Amino acid sequence: MAPVIENKPTFCRICEPLCGMIATVEDGRLMALRPDKDHPLSAGFACQKGIAFTEVVNDPDRVTRPLRRGPAGFEEVTWDEAMADIAGRLSAILRRHGSGAVGWYMGNPGAFSYAHTFAALLFLKGLGRHGHYFTASSQDTNSRLIASQLLYGVPTSVPIPDLTRTDLLVMMGANPVVSHGSFLTAPRIKDRMADIVKRGGRVVIVDPRRSETAAAFEWLGIVPDTDSLLLLSLLNVMFAEGLVDVAAIRVRADGVDWLRSLFGPFAPESTAASTGIDADSVRALARDLVNTPRAAVYGRLGTCVGSHGTLTTYLIDAVNLVAGNLDVPGGSVFSTMNTVGQRWQNVAMGAVMRRSYRRKRSRISGTPYAIGSEPAALMAKEITTSGDRRIRAMFVSAGNPVLSVPNGEELEAAFGELELSVALDFYVTETSAQCDYILPVTTMYERDDFPYTFQGFQATPFRQATEAVLAPVGEARGEWDIVAELAGRLARSVPAFAAFAGVRKVLGLLGFEASPRTMIDALVRMSEGGDKFGLRRGGLTLRRLTEKHPHGVVVAPHIRTGVLREAVGYLSRRVRLAHPGIAAEVDKLARRAVPDGYPLRMIGLREPRSENSWMHNSPMLMRGDRRQHALMHVDDAAERTITDGDEVRITSPHGAITVPVVTTKDLVAGVVAVPHGWGHKGTGSWRLANRAGGANVNQLTSSDPGDVEALSGMAWLTGVPIRVERA
């Protein structure tokens, strides 16, 4: 019989542009992925990782049956055996210690699946009030979210640059030519940035490294972890030179005078020595930001993971506000789904989040919970520190924290103390290898999806949904199904799960399905372009989206502006500038000291053919015997008689690693860049990744409670003091 070959439009969910893809499926097996020419925004673009994903789906090293760790390593078990044992052990732990004994870490790919996000949250919160929730966000975005919560009263109101209309884009700490954009969903982002230059505008990249993006546009080199000083002096110049329309700011924001007292002492002449940016450049940039009618400052990973990430992010928004660039066309704008009742959702959600922020604190560091989650940098100590709420059972889904959070060795050892540990993953990773069970999950092409998390960051308002393009490989299951079954088995010991089962049953009898899919459908229907449950004929539903618009649909040509009052969750409807926590961070800037003996600063580096830690097993991406290496300035290398290709020992106050080095002039002197996500040392099952090995850069970063950022619990990942010597 002739094989059945189908070409199905869908989209990639490895990183944030969500590029359109055509999946070729032959007799139920994924044969190839190619870029979708008919996607309105990605229009035939996909990167190497997206294409290589076929090798992940079909990876011979993939876990496709439940694994249990026995004395002689992992052995396959049935789902029923695994679930029965996990439920039994978990209910015993709950009985003895309560919900405070349970932790869940959800890693980055979780954010790309609406069902997974719902599953992790509902499960943990369903167990009781005291569970520990961790995500990759404390190594990524929590500082951004908390800055929004302080300024706008709600963490999810995150402004993004109006990419398609701006004439001056200042990007700090982002390298979208490699990362493809973050907190900014813009397929073909490099082309969209080139358009700015084509229409006579400018793109300025503030970065310690002349990154791939800086090389394509204008580079302004900065000393790592000093962005807040640069931003304070931009504000200083704007006010000192009388460039600011103070009355206009007062209409939109409370606390303008408070803000003035904050940046008063930071004239650009006083910050130049620290930032490495001379006063004239700062003054010129301040004037350009005010005088260009369509200008925006945007910051991302590099500004979020410094030692003052919340302050830096707060100041980026303050600069946009003061320069008159917030919520105006071509400025820094709020991209929303324009859902019915959005304003009141923001008020309600803001109140809940701010309450939890005020009341809940990390047991170890005392830092407030950020959007209901705790610092992952302290996960190991939450497991090993005795007392009330000590973690005894840990779930890890879509994460590899042994490589991604500070001090992986400490975390790896801590896993040995757990009474129960369960990974939901399709690989034996450095982390899942430490678990009692590995439950095999579907990859993105084996599940339906709607990229709920990224709707608020769309540079062009756009919707796309997909059905699964192939059936689960082996015995893989979706995260929601796994959690729903576990909740069912726990219904007798967990009242919330019993209640949930009851509600589902009643709704089922009435013909409603209580599932994440129903909720996402409702969201699509109530948002821009939606059918408003029949009020708008022909409008979008989740089903209409997949059936009528398989390549996705642009719902508006541009992001709406003039929506600040809707975006703000405070009842005042005005931006709130005065926060004692922000002032305390500014005070700390002056008191920052570096321990003796660590003259250099370590920063991160993302590579086009890596995705954090988990795509190093794809032959296509590992072509040419790829290895990890650090980048070092030629002068710093010469001073230490280090030459290209040498193995170097990098030491921080927290640990040491050995890596080969490449020397370059494309760095601010004194800076060393080291990619994360390497350090595959054979505990995982991925053969190719293990052969490539590398070093875990997070042995250099700190899991000391004192080094967790005070306002958002962020890990400190950039500007880390180091010294380097030839190994």
506: left (phi over 0), alpha (psi -120 to 50) or beta: alpha
Any idea which residue has 């070959």 for tokens? Answer: 5
Q: Which of residues 63-102 bind Mo ion (CB under 5 A)?
A: none
The phi, psi pair for 336, rounded to 5°, reads -130, 170
Q: Which of the listed partners (ligand SF4, Mo ion, ligand MGD, none) does 529 bind, with a CB threshold of 5 to 8 Å by partner kind?
A: none
What interhelical angle do 342-359 and 142-152 show, nearest 10? Answer: 110
Report the C-alpha gap between 261 and 414 in whole angstroms: 45
CB of 201 to Mo ion, least distance (A): 28
- Reference 590, options 179, 228, 300; nearest CA is 228
606 binds ligand MGD (CB under 6 A): yes
Q: Which of 22, 46, 145, 286 contacts ligand SF4 by CB under 6 A?
A: 46
Count of residues that bind ligand SF4 according to CB under 6 A = 11
* Amino acid, res. 312: T
468 binds ligand MGD (CB under 6 A): no
97 binds ligand SF4 (CB under 6 A): no
Considering the complex, state which of residue 313 and residue 400 has its C-beta at the smaller distance from ligand MGD.
400
Tokens representing residue 724 in the block: 């380097």
CB of 31 to ligand SF4, least distance (A): 17
Q: Which of residues 134-163 bind Mo ion (CB under 5 A)?
A: 140
Secondary structure of residue 677 in the 3-state scheme: coil
Site string for ligand SF4, 132-171 (x = CB under 6 A): ----------------------------------------
Q: Which of the listed partners (Mo ion, ligand MGD, ligand SF4, none) does 398 bind, with a CB threshold of 5 to 8 Å by partner kind?
A: ligand MGD
Q: Which of residues 615-674 bind ligand MGD (CB under 6 A)?
A: none
Q: Which of 155, 399, 529, 550 contacts ligand MGD by CB under 6 A?
A: 399
697 binds ligand MGD (CB under 6 A): yes
Per the DSSP assignment, residues forming a β-bridge with 651 are 656, 723
| Residue span binding ligand SF4 (CB under 6 A) among the ranges 16-24, 248-256, 293-301, 345-353 | 16-24
Report the C-alpha gap between 715 and 704 in whole angstroms: 10
Considering the complex, state which of residue 216 and residue 351 has its C-beta at the smaller distance from ligand SF4.
216
17 binds ligand SF4 (CB under 6 A): yes
Report the C-alpha gap between 327 and 325 in whole angstroms: 7
Report the C-alpha gap between 280 and 289 in whole angstroms: 14
Considering the complex, state which of residue 17 and residue 161 has its C-beta at the smaller distance from ligand SF4.
17
Secondary structure of residue 181 in the 3-state scheme: coil
Q: Which of the listed partners (ligand SF4, Mo ion, ligand MGD, none) does 677 bind, with a CB threshold of 5 to 8 Å by partner kind?
A: ligand MGD
143 binds ligand MGD (CB under 6 A): no
Considering the complex, state which of residue 294 and residue 606 has its C-beta at the smaller distance from Mo ion.
606
50 binds ligand SF4 (CB under 6 A): yes
Q: Which of the listed partners (ligand MGD, ligand SF4, Mo ion, none) does 12 bind, with a CB threshold of 5 to 8 Å by partner kind?
A: ligand SF4
Q: Which of the listed partners (ligand MGD, ligand SF4, Mo ion, none) does 46 bind, with a CB threshold of 5 to 8 Å by partner kind?
A: ligand SF4
Residue 583: which residues within 8 A CB-CB, separation 6 or more?
262
What is the dihedral sign for C-alpha 60, 62, 67, 69? Answer: positive
303 binds ligand MGD (CB under 6 A): yes
144 binds ligand MGD (CB under 6 A): no
Q: Which of the listed partners (ligand SF4, ligand MGD, Mo ion, none) does 18 bind, with a CB threshold of 5 to 8 Å by partner kind?
A: ligand SF4
The phi, psi pair for 609, rounded to 5°, reads -105, 20
Q: Which of 55, 59, 140, 521 contacts ligand MGD by CB under 6 A?
A: 140
Secondary structure of residue 250 in the 3-state scheme: helix
611 binds Mo ion (CB under 5 A): no
Q: Which of residues 179-218 bind ligand SF4 (CB under 6 A)?
A: 180
Residue 66: which residues within 8 A CB-CB, separation 6 or more?
76, 77, 78, 79, 81, 82, 437, 438, 439, 440, 475
| Residue span binding ligand MGD (CB under 6 A) among the ranges 254-262, 364-372, 396-404, 655-663 | 396-404
Q: What are the distances in angstroms from CA 570 to CA 148, 160, 166, 255, 417?
A: 12, 20, 28, 14, 44
Instruction: List strand residue ranges (DSSP E) for 246-330, in order.
Output: 253-254, 295-299
What interhelical angle do 580-591 and 227-240 show, nearest 10? Answer: 110
Q: Which of the listed partners (ligand SF4, ligand MGD, Mo ion, none) does 50 bind, with a CB threshold of 5 to 8 Å by partner kind?
A: ligand SF4
Report the C-alpha gap between 522 and 55 in whole angstroms: 35
CB of 396 to Mo ion, least distance (A): 16
| Residue span binding ligand MGD (CB under 6 A) among the ranges 339-347, 488-496, 637-645, 714-722 | 714-722
Alpha helices in 113-211 (DSSP H): 114-127, 142-152, 176-179, 189-198
Cβ atoms within 10 Å of 198's Cβ, excluding its own: 9
The phi, psi pair for 216, rounded to 5°, reads -85, -20
Q: Which of 429, 460, 618, 685 contacts ligand MGD by CB under 6 A?
A: 429
* C-beta of residue 37 within 8 angstroms of C-beta of residue 550: no
- Reference 253, options 242, 244, 240, 243; nearest CA is 244
Alpha helices in 619-686 (DSSP H): 634-639
Considering the complex, state which of residue 336 and residue 613 has its C-beta at the smaller distance from ligand MGD.
613
Q: Which of the listed partners (Mo ion, ligand SF4, ligand MGD, none) does 179 bind, with a CB threshold of 5 to 8 Å by partner kind?
A: ligand MGD
CB of 116 to ligand SF4, least distance (A): 17
Considering the complex, state which of residue 45 and residue 427 has its C-beta at the smaller distance from ligand SF4.
45
Site string for ligand MGD, 203-222 (x = CB under 6 A): ---xxxx-x----------x
Give the H or E element holding residue 171.
strand 168-172
Considering the complex, state which of residue 182 and residue 367 has its C-beta at the smaller distance from ligand SF4.
182
| SS3 annotation, 60-89 | CCCCCCCEEEECCEEEECCHHHHHHHHHHH
* C-beta of residue 489 within 8 angstroms of C-beta of residue 87: yes
Report the C-alpha gap between 110 and 120 in whole angstroms: 9
189 binds ligand MGD (CB under 6 A): no
Considering the complex, state which of residue 186 and residue 323 has its C-beta at the smaller distance from ligand MGD.
186
The string over 45-79, giving b where at least 16 C-beta atoms fall within 10 Å of a residue's C-beta and e elsewhere, is bbbebbbbbbbbbebebbbebbbbbeeeebeebee
Considering the complex, state which of residue 136 and residue 630 has its C-beta at the smaller distance from ligand MGD.
136
479 binds ligand MGD (CB under 6 A): yes
Q: List contacts with Mo ion (CB under 5 A).
A: 140
Q: List contacts with ligand SF4 (CB under 6 A).
A: 12, 14-15, 17-19, 46-47, 49-50, 180
Q: List contacts with ligand MGD (CB under 6 A).
A: 15, 107-109, 113, 136, 139-140, 172-176, 178-180, 182, 206-209, 211, 222, 224-225, 227, 300-303, 306, 397-401, 404, 424-427, 429, 441, 443-444, 479, 603-604, 606-608, 610-614, 676-677, 697-698, 701, 717-719
